[in-house]
Structure formats: C-alpha cells, structure tokens
Structure 1
Amino acid sequence: MTPPATGAPAAPDPAGLPVATDAFTGGAPVTGRFATDHARWTLASATVGEHPMLVPAEADPWEWRDERIGWGVVLPDVPGLDPAALARAEDAPEPIHRLVQDRHGRVLRYRADSGYADWTLRDYAGGGDLLTAASPPGSGPLQLPMYLLIYGTPAEIPWQIQYALNPVRLVGRLDLTGEPLARYVDALLNDWAGSGARYEAPVIWSVDHGGGEQDITTLMRDSIAAPLHALFTEEGEQDITAPEFVDGSAVEATGAALADALARNSPALVVTTSHGMTGPLDDPEKLRAGLGLPVGQDLAPVGPGELLARWQPDGAIWFARACCSAGADSPSAYHGLFEAESPVARVLDGVAAAGAGVAPLPRALLGADRPLRAFVGQVEPTFNWTMSFPPNRQELTGAIGTALRDRLCNGRPVGLAMAPYFDPIGSLLLRYTRAVGTYGSSVREAARTALDLALYSKVTAYDRAATVILGDPTAAVPRPAR
C-alpha cells in the first residue's frame, strides 16, 4: 500500500486482517483472511437478485413518467359512448388523443352529481370512480396521477374541480381548439425544441399607481415584484445575469414598455403585477374580450395582439398577478360577501354574469405560433389582506418567490414548482371549520373574533385555490448547462 502522509493514521490493509464470522459448525470459530487478489471481487458489479439496488429508489416527483407518479388527462364524460373508447380518449380532439397515446396517460372523466358526491372522476379503464384527495398516486387502476391536465372549458369542467385538486395534485388546464391546440401539443411533445427563450433574462413588469395602502398595485409591487427582482440580482447568482425590472414606481409600466422588454429580452420567465381588466360591466361581449388583461400605468389594457406583434412566447412561462388574469367563474366564489351596492360586489356580479371562461391573454399565448409553456394566473380577484395579514401587516407572498426562483428556475415542472403555494389551503380550511364551531358556541366578543377568523381563513383559502395553471403541469423551464 502507498505509505500514509506524515502524521496521518495508517489505513488497515484488508488482505492482512483476520475476519471473524457468526457462522458455527459445531467446532472452532469460522474465521479467515481476504484473498490477496480481492480487487476482482470488490470491483465486480454489485447485484442482489436481478436488481442492482439494495433498497428501492423513492419515486422522484420531478419524473412524471414514473408509474408511481403518473400523468393523466381529465376530460368531460360523454354518456352513451363505449367505455373502452372513453378510456382511450378516442372522442377527444386529435392532438389530445395523440398526447395521451404518446405519454401512455391515464384518462379520467369528470362526472357531475355522481350520487354519493357532487362530482367524481370516473376511471373507465380501472372500472370505478376515484375519491380524488384520498386516492393513491400513480398510473395504475383507480389511482390518481400526480400530474393532471384538464382539457375543457370551465363550463364543461368547472373551475371548482381545479380548485379542489390543486392542494393534492399538480394540475393544469387547456382550453384550446383547432390549430392553436395542435401547435401547443406539438411544442409540448417536442419539449419546445429550438426555443430561443433566454433563461438569463427574466422580465418583471410591475404597475405602481402610488396610492399607498389604499392601492393594491403598490402592495403587489412591494411584496411580489421587487422581492423577486432582488432574488434574481442577489450576490452569487450565476445564471440569471440579465433580469429586467420594469418598475412602475420608477418608470411608466405601460403596455409599450412591456412589449419592448419582451422583444428585447426573449425571456424564459415573465412576471407581471397589475390590475386586471373587468369591464365594461354593461357589455358582456366586450368584457369577455378584455377579461383579465393587465392594465398599464396609463390605465390602458395590454392586449395579446400588441405583444405578439413583436414577440413570441417560444417556451416562456408567465406568472400574472391580476384580477381574472386566468379567467372568471360564474357565480363568483365571493358572491354575497360584500355590500350589494359596493364597487367590489358590482364587479363580481358583473363579471360572473358574462359567464365562466378562460381569459383571452393566456389563450392567445398558449396557442401562439411559438407557444407559451404555461401561464399561472387568477380566477376571481385577489385582496390586499390575503397578501398582508391585517393585524400585524405580515406579508404572505413569500411562497411566490420560492415557487418561481427556487423551484421553477431550478428546472422543476411548473406544477411541482407551484405546489408549496397551495400547501396552506388545508390548514386554512381546518382553521375556518374550528372558528365556525367556536362562533356557534360563543357569545358577544368571542363570537365576533371567531367570525372574523373564519372570514379571513375562508377568503385566503379560496384566494390560494383560485390561482391556477393554464397549460400542461409538466412544462418546465430548462436550466442552462454548466
């Protein structure tokens, strides 16, 4: 053996050591020494049975192809069709059918009013219905895959299904048809081959009307956009070298400024905070056409045509914090919460009257010539006190930075990246249930405090659940090679 360095303890030579065993033959102890040429045995492949690993590897949540994780599609149920055809998605548009076949995906069918629940997911191939939250993960019969793509309009498969699945699965939605659908599926299957989106150059665009505590744009800028930009520019950052912050507190965060930044940077990640368009309330057709569009510093909505004239998403992922940036529901989850004649109530009821649907911006970007990978946005509005706890002003938006910088920008699929954002929902609803129980058994001040806590917990849980992913939840921003 090579002599040890001066002062270092000598390593024992295995060939010279006696070896005792716990075997017994009825006589002397069973001992021996390693063969002088023990290298051949030592370096031979280590196998136990037919598998080279002594302990089975844990399922990797990044790897949706692993049958213990799984990917599946949720489609509307179609009464009267052959169950075997329903299990193979034969009635789905050709791109969706092709996607299922290519990925060997599980096909589940949304069924309303199943008899023992207000909705369920039917597994025709597995021969039964799934209990959703309690279902085991995986791609086998009566298992609920961890990655789920809902295909359908919110009228066909309600937003509430996505809300309910968000805390327990990694869920996205596609509401495209025709050529836009084919372009998106082609890009997904090819993993956006040849994408020119630049990892090193994310764009953050944040409107700030400077209204202080009474203006939510300032809060969104201060609690989401600015901290995220700080994460991108912190000392030691090696890969995100050219982030651009269109900071509405310093410059005009207009539609033109956003289009300029996108065209100049070709970012792999886009983050926007602003008001979302929810008018005119007296013209449902116009309202639907502009629903959720980001509203710039000049109070003008930013339409997809203005952006796509100069820029193609080409595999980017977009996070938008704005009212109805992902779409609208009907009725609103918050109907009856606000005073009937208040501006908030009029907007909630007016938007709901236009019907449930996906917003036009994500639809256009996901179906573009070079499509977006995924869009993360809101159904319904968000509120200042779900971002900042009123009693102590604690900011509650840190999970957004964690999801985008620490997880999405580290290559995690968008569904997995956003998972921590949904984690508090169960705790909030449990707290809501207990507060309701306290309210029913208390009097005066204790009852009032319990009611306030129940209100806050319920609204905050709904706010988190109504943040949705549009596009496939397996879409991921590739990290640059080092």
Structure 2
Amino acid sequence: MNDERWYFNGVDATTGGYLEAPMSPGDVLEMLRSRPWRPEAKAMVPGFEARSLTESGWGAVFPRGPEGVDPALREALRPLLDHRQEQAAACKEIRYRELELRRGEDLDGFLVRHGRGPGPVHPDRLPYYLLLVGDPAALPFGFQTGLDVQHAVGRLCFDTLEDYHAYACAVVRAETEGGGRDRLLDLFAPRHPDDPATELSSDHLIAPLAERLEGDLEGWRLRRTFGEDATRQALSGLFEGVAGRPALLFTASHGTGFPCGHPDQRERQGALLCQDWPGPVESRGPTPPEWSFAAADLSARADVAGLIAFCFACYGAGTPAQDDYTHRNDWKPRQLAPQDFVARLPQRLLARGALAVIGHLERAWSQSFLWQGTAQVDVFESVLKLLLDGWPVGGAMEYFNQRYAELATRLTTELNRTLTGATVDAREVTRLWTAHNDARGYVVAGDPAVRVNVTR
C-alpha cells in the first residue's frame, strides 16, 4: 500500500464508513502540539511477588456518595470480598483494603490520602491489585487509567445489584470448586475487502501472533478463525462452546461507533464488527446489527463461565464523553457521548460468568503492533503468554504500561523540540502518538486478580 495517510480502526454504524477519516502525518502533528505528556512507569517495590495476593495485596475502591458507600453494593460483592480478604490478608491484614473515592477527590488526592506519591507500589500502604466498583460517573476513566500506571486495576460496573452478586459468585466458584475450561486459545479476526485497517491487523498482528504462539504453547491448543470464517455466527459459536470451551479468547476487529446520543449508542457502541460487513467500498448506509456482535447477541446457549477475553476493537471497553484526540490549539474536544459509559458487551459477559474482559477505551490504533512497517507483537504475545501461564490479568497487563512509559518519554522529547522551533519528522511523531495512546487505552473489565481458569 502506497497511501501515506493513517487509517484508524472503528466503523460508524450509522453510515457504514470509517469513524475517523484517514489523516496525513502533518495533520496529526498539528493536533499534538497543545497536548501535555507525562511519562510514567509501573512496578512494586522490591521483595513482593505480583502472582501472590498474600504479598501484593488486593483492594476494592467504592465511590463515596452523600451518605457514604452504598451498603447494598458491598453486600452484593460480599462473596468476592470475603474470598479476597482470606487470600490477601493471610500474612498482613493491611494488604486487604476496602477503600473509598471521596466526592470531588482526584487521583493525586486519593493517593496522598493513602500515603502514596509518584513511584512504585508498596503493598503495605496501598494494595497492588485494585478493583474499582461503580460507573465512570463516580469513578472516572481518568482516575482508572491514572491509577493503573502503577497498580493493577480492574473495574466492575453493572446496572443491577444482582449482576454484581452474580459476578462475585462466579469468581469464587471458578477459584474454589475445581473444574475449568479447555486449554484452548481462540484467535478471531475478520479481514474485510478494501479495508486497510483489518488488512494491517490481519497481516501484522494476528498472523505473526499466531505463528509465535503456536510453537510455544505447551499443553495448550491454538485455534484460528480468520478472514472469511470470522463471521458473527462463528463468534457466537465460540461463546457457546460449540466445538470446545476456550479459556482465553483474543479478537481483533473494528468496533462499531455511533454519533453522540444516538438511540443505539449505549447498547451497541464497541460491538465487534464481523466478516459479515462487506467493507467500506461496498457498505452503503447504516450497518445492520446482523453484521456485528453486541451484548444482545449473546445467546441463552452461551457458555462463558470462567472465560477471559481480550478484544482489540474501538470502544471495546468503554467510551469517554469527550474525544481527546481531535482538538487542536483552539478547538474544543468533540463530544462522543452524553456521558462516560462502560461498553455493554463486557458487562454482559461478566454478568454471565466471564472472569475478565480486556478492552480499549476510545479508539484502538494499529500503530501498537506496527512499527516502521514491521510487525511488533511482543507486547501482545507477552501478555497472552503470562495469562496462559496463570498470571493474574492485571499483572500480565504490565507490558502495556511499560510500553506506554517508553513511548511517553520519547514522545515528550519530540514535542518539546517542536516548542523550541526545531524541525521534527511528522511521521515519527505520529507513530509515537498513536502507539502511546493505544498502550494507555487498554483496561481490564473485571477483577484484576483473576486468572485463566482451566481444567487441571
């Protein structure tokens, strides 16, 4: 492909076209000049093991309302809270915490109140694994991603107390009652005609990832559902366990998007666009629901108890109210949604018994796996291998945070040069920017301490 423009993942379900028009590197550079960048890293102090909750600690963060924390919410999660307390407080009681984010409190205020500043985590001050309990109106996305820089963070957000309780019970069952899912890793990836975005993800993410993993999966089986086979019906079959119950599912696709306030936005934003979509040239008008997989498409036959899913897709984990990526010096951020919200598909999967869903806030970027024309899948490979090796989800996600820290440092250097009038390579800055934002956008829906649940 000789096209110098940058193509972004995500398809507008109301038009059938891309969510974001292709942009030149120069346009992206102009967008960046007003944006602040702060490089950070994530780690615990020496002497603590991330795979052990007894050493690393576990805590839940509840939003504090005018009358305190909702006692019914705590009670709904009681099975999980008691289970984690038994594990994390086995040596020191302080390594299990039930915490509160006070009204109007920001991340820095929260950390300072608990004896924390910038730097590595000490589990005797604040646990490494932290589960946010509540929606982003009370526990903002910015709080979540900022906290995740040093800690291993996940979020639970449901509409009903019954769903919170169902998830809590599902985790306890998976970790105490034996059994488990098949030692099967499923890779699912559509490749649409005339679509540079899925051409890139197919050739430079999925294909090399499958090749690397297949030769290094002792005791595991790898199954591919690619291209023409990656239909909505096929994905439904994976969730139903028609030909095996995968312990880990990785998908790479477009995520559907909708205009701010559209009637379908809350229910279908971030739905996984399957091979049924004919591509941007042949697609005319609104995208029918039958071309994508959303929460409503999870059938009564779905068997997702104990599943961990990793979905590379725009808005796959949630949507912020405002778009941070399109404003220039004198622009206001574009309104993406009436308010921040968590994607419905991960919510539905967790309520049905899945342990965790890794997904993306905002748009996902192909630059995270493509570097100067070469596939770079080390981060994805490393995360998946740690998951298959039994690491907690939040600990395995460390690689994305390390990548973010490296990219943030390099990007800051380049942007500071532009402020002094130095000439910079617009394509290089664009490459750093897209990779940086993609690495920071990945979050965990569910308890960050859960692990792949397999038959022993």
TM-score range, shorter chain: 0.7 to 0.9
Could you say what secondary structure the match of 2:310 adopts?
Answer: strand
Distance of aligned partners of 1:196 and 1:273 in 2 relative to their CA distance in 1, 3 Å threshold: farther
Q: 1:437 aligns with which of 416, 421, 427?
A: 416
Distance of aligned partners of 1:338 and 1:174 in 2 relative to their CA distance in 1, 3 Å threshold: farther
Is the contact between residue 204 and residue 374 of structure 2 (CA under 8 Å) also seen in structure 1? no
Could you say what secondary structure the match of 1:185 adopts?
Answer: helix
User: How many angstroms apart in 2 are the aligned matches of 1:383 and 1:252?
Assistant: 24
The reply to whether residue 329 of structure 1 matches residue 306 of structure 2 is: no
Distance of aligned partners of 1:423 and 1:227 in 2 relative to their CA distance in 1, 3 Å threshold: same
Find the counterpart in structure 2 of residue 222 from structure 1: 203
**Aligned partner letter, 1:436:** L
Structure 1 residue 168, shift from structure 2 partner = 1.0
Is the contact between residue 170 and residue 305 of structure 2 (CA under 8 Å) also seen in structure 1? no
User: How many angstroms apart in 2 are the aligned matches of 1:191 and 1:134?
Assistant: 34
**Aligned partner letter, 2:276:** D
Per-residue displacement from partner, 1:206-236 (whole Å, max 9, x unpaired)? 010143xx521121122332233324432x6
The reply to whether residue 295 of structure 1 matches residue 273 of structure 2 is: yes
Structure 1 residue 360, shift from structure 2 partner = 0.9
**Aligned partner letter, 2:52:** E
Could you say what secondary structure the match of 2:110 adopts?
Answer: strand
Distance of aligned partners of 1:172 and 1:282 in 2 relative to their CA distance in 1, 3 Å threshold: closer
Per-residue displacement from partner, 1:160-200 (whole Å, max 9, x unpaired)? 11211222111110002322111110122233555765332
Per-residue displacement from partner, 1:124-155 (whole Å, max 9, x unpaired)? xxxx34445436421x3xx1211010111111
Find the counterpart in structure 1 of residue 27 from structure 2: none
Is the contact between residue 274 and residue 293 of structure 2 (CA under 8 Å) also seen in structure 1? yes
User: How many angstroms apart in 1 are the aligned matches of 2:199 and 2:66?
Assistant: 50
Find the counterpart in structure 1 of residue 378 from structure 2: 398
Structure 1 residue 106, shift from structure 2 partner = 0.9
Find the counterpart in structure 1 of residue 310 from structure 2: 319
User: How many angstroms apart in 1 are the aligned matches of 2:376 and 2:101?
Assistant: 33
Find the counterpart in structure 1 of residue 122 from structure 2: 137
Structure 1 residue 238, shift from structure 2 partner = 3.5
Distance of aligned partners of 1:354 and 1:226 in 2 relative to their CA distance in 1, 3 Å threshold: farther
Is the contact between residue 61 and residue 416 of structure 1 (CA under 8 Å) also seen in structure 2? yes
User: How many angstroms apart in 2 are the aligned matches of 1:432 and 1:237?
Assistant: 35
Q: 2:172 aligns with which of 171, 174, 189?
A: 189
Distance of aligned partners of 1:312 and 1:130 in 2 relative to their CA distance in 1, 3 Å threshold: farther
**Aligned partner letter, 2:340:** A
User: How many angstroms apart in 2 are the aligned matches of 1:349 and 1:469?
Assistant: 25
Moved beyond 6 Å, runs of 4+: none
**Aligned partner letter, 1:63:** S
**Aligned partner letter, 1:465:** R
> How many residue pairs are counted as aligned between the two chains?
385
Is the contact between residue 108 and residue 121 of structure 1 (CA under 8 Å) also seen in structure 2? no
Per-residue displacement from partner, 1:48-104 (whole Å, max 9, x unpaired)? xxxxxxxxx9432100122xx1101112133464xxxx6xx8464312355334433
Could you say what secondary structure the match of 2:98 adopts?
Answer: strand
**Aligned partner letter, 1:168:** Q
Could you say what secondary structure the match of 2:444 adopts?
Answer: strand
Is the contact between residue 316 and residue 361 of structure 2 (CA under 8 Å) also seen in structure 1? yes
Distance of aligned partners of 1:196 and 1:230 in 2 relative to their CA distance in 1, 3 Å threshold: farther
Q: 1:309 aligns with which of 287, 300, 310?
A: 300
Structure 1 residue 307, shift from structure 2 partner = 3.3
Q: 2:444 aligns with which of 434, 448, 469?
A: 469
Distance of aligned partners of 1:237 and 1:113 in 2 relative to their CA distance in 1, 3 Å threshold: closer
Q: Where does 1:143-162 land on structure 2 (aligned, <5 Å)?
A: 143-162=125-144
Is the contact between residue 121 and residue 130 of structure 1 (CA under 8 Å) also seen in structure 2? no
Find the counterpart in structure 2 of residue 34 from structure 1: none
Find the counterpart in structure 2 of residue 29 from structure 1: none
Structure 1 residue 388, shift from structure 2 partner = 1.7
Is the contact between residue 205 and residue 245 of structure 1 (CA under 8 Å) also seen in structure 2? yes
Find the counterpart in structure 2 of residue 165 from structure 1: 147
The reply to whether residue 64 of structure 1 matches residue 60 of structure 2 is: no
Find the counterpart in structure 2 of residue 75 from structure 1: 62
The reply to whether residue 204 of structure 1 matches residue 193 of structure 2 is: no
**Aligned partner letter, 1:468:** V
Distance of aligned partners of 1:448 and 1:59 in 2 relative to their CA distance in 1, 3 Å threshold: closer
Find the counterpart in structure 2 of residue 244 from structure 1: 223
Distance of aligned partners of 1:97 and 1:130 in 2 relative to their CA distance in 1, 3 Å threshold: farther
**Aligned partner letter, 2:191:** D
Distance of aligned partners of 1:291 and 1:339 in 2 relative to their CA distance in 1, 3 Å threshold: farther
Is the contact between residue 131 and residue 448 of structure 2 (CA under 8 Å) also seen in structure 1? yes
- Looking at both structures, which has the greater relative contact order when contacts are Cα pairs under 8 Å and sequence separation is at least 6? 2
User: How many angstroms apart in 1 are the aligned matches of 2:276 and 2:330?
Assistant: 29
The reply to whether residue 410 of structure 1 matches residue 366 of structure 2 is: no
Find the counterpart in structure 2 of residue 3 from structure 1: none
User: How many angstroms apart in 1 are the aligned matches of 2:120 and 2:71?
Assistant: 25
Find the counterpart in structure 1 of residue 359 from structure 2: 377
Structure 1 residue 430, shift from structure 2 partner = 2.2
Distance of aligned partners of 1:467 and 1:102 in 2 relative to their CA distance in 1, 3 Å threshold: same
User: How many angstroms apart in 1 are the aligned matches of 2:133 and 2:330?
Assistant: 36
Larger Rg: 1
Per-residue displacement from partner, 1:252-284 (whole Å, max 9, x unpaired)? 3111011223422111111111111112x2752
**Aligned partner letter, 2:77:** I
Find the counterpart in structure 2 of residue 110 from structure 1: 101
Structure 2 residue ranges without an equivalent (≥5): 1-45, 86-95, 278-290
Could you say what secondary structure the match of 2:188 adopts?
Answer: strand
Is the contact between residue 147 and residue 474 of structure 1 (CA under 8 Å) also seen in structure 2? yes
Structure 1 residue ranges without an equivalent (≥5): 1-56
Distance of aligned partners of 1:217 and 1:146 in 2 relative to their CA distance in 1, 3 Å threshold: same
Could you say what secondary structure the match of 1:120 adopts?
Answer: helix
User: How many angstroms apart in 2 are the aligned matches of 1:384 and 1:135?
Assistant: 30
Distance of aligned partners of 1:155 and 1:306 in 2 relative to their CA distance in 1, 3 Å threshold: same
Could you say what secondary structure the match of 1:191 adopts?
Answer: helix
User: How many angstroms apart in 1 are the aligned matches of 2:134 and 2:168?
Assistant: 14
